[in-house]
Amino acid sequence: MVRVSVSPEMLTWACERAGYNVEYFAKSLPQLEAWIRQEKRPTFNQLEKLANITHTPFGYLFLKTPPSEILPIPDFRTVSGNSINKPSPNLLDTIYAMQRRQNCLQELLIEDGVAPLAFVSSARLSDKPDLVGQEMRKVLGLHNGWAANIRTWQDAVSELRRLIEELGIIAVINGVVGNNTHRKLNVEEFRGFALTDPYAPLIFVNGADAKSAQIFTLAHELAHIWLGKEGISGFENLLPCGTNVEKWCNQAAAEFLVPTEELSSYWKDAKRMKNPFQKLARIFKVSPIVTARRALDLEFVTRQTFFDFYKNYVEQEHRNSSTSSGGNFYNSQNTRVGKLFAIRALNAAEEGRILFKEAYHLTDLHNGHLEKYVKHLEKTNA
């Protein structure tokens, strides 16, 4: 049995990179600590197991010193120019997976002679964000009162994601890496990110976040596409932090979801009610914390009023979600993969333009599940 020499520093780094100490992974690999003390050497199979459970690229373990891992896209989660933290394996793997999807779709669209999307990078930081937010609504066909016939704000999230995909933007909402429910994404690390491209722009929303906040992140990342500034976003309590890009996108998203003129017209009556934010939420089909955030923007309420409401609402939402059952397969794939990319990927595989293996890998749908999902889309016209 062939055994290999590995730097103790790399073994420790792999564990810490995954967010745990050596003792945690020693439960699965009892000899791990002996390898670090260089009393024993691992086999290739044992080293592969360590790479798998720590989500570390196998080749990295043979380096003498840890590599410097940086985000492959700009980081807008900054305060005074300093990055908040090092990217986790889950975040890195998610970004790389979305970049692969984007690159695949871009190549297919260019081969088909499809024209680039005019709205990508159509805005500038010098533009007024509220006007751009209004323009975004027009392009999506969301005129005043568009949500009147939608039952709930949760349904409005699904409808908005669908309309964004119809524009040609891949829109993903996922709280785990791919379909791996053991690799949950961390909301404290990021809320979402945008990958800009004139042919295949992509929006990713961290589905581990409170559902009430996801619609705001969706609109925020849409503003990134309009601005042509790809990168990763993070904000506290739906309030901007960090760069001017984030502040601009937050303002555009706020106007997009809850236009100033409309909110102002409803506020006189709403403010007299016991639950004004819930009342406004039913009108605009957004979550109450979004209407509360908008009321703060327009100085209808104090910061303390907003923060108190936000904290209580999100805590209640988390308590309710902890007792809910999981969603079904099709609903999960609607947000994790989506119609736009799933159908394109399967068609490309059937035409021999990409391998079926590649289509399965790109969608994280194996063993016939991609075909099953696409048939469902065609049957239900989802």
pLDDT band at 42 (very low <50, low <70, confident <90, very high): very high
Dump pLDDT digits (tens) for 253-276.
999 999 999 999 999 999 999 899
Q: For residue 101, what are its two tokens? A: 């999807």
CA distance 113 to 365: 28
Angle at 147 between CA 312 and CA 127, to 5 degrees: 85
**From CA 292, how far away is CA 128, in angstroms rounded?**
22
Pairing of strands 176-177, 180-184: antiparallel
Task: Return the bridge partners of 177, or none.
Answer: 180
Torsion of CA 311, 321, 294, 137, to 10 degrees: 160
pLDDT of amino acid 322: 55
Distance CA 332, CA 327 (A): 6
Contact (CB, 8 A) for 321 and 187: no
Answer whether 304's CB lies under 8 Å from 311's CB. Answer: no
- pTM, two decimals, is 0.90
Please, where are the H alpha helices in 178-284?
211-227, 244-257, 260-270, 276-284
Q: Looking up tokens 């403010």, which residue turns up?
A: 271
Q: Mind listing the pLDDT tens digit for each residue in 305-345?
A: 999 999 898 888 777 765 444 567 888 898 999 999 999 99
Angle between helix 303-321 and 211-227 (nearest 10): 120
pLDDT tens readout for residues 287-308: 898 999 999 999 999 999 999 9
194 has which bridge partners?
A: 203, 231
User: Over 80: is that where the pLDDT of 348 sits?
Assistant: yes
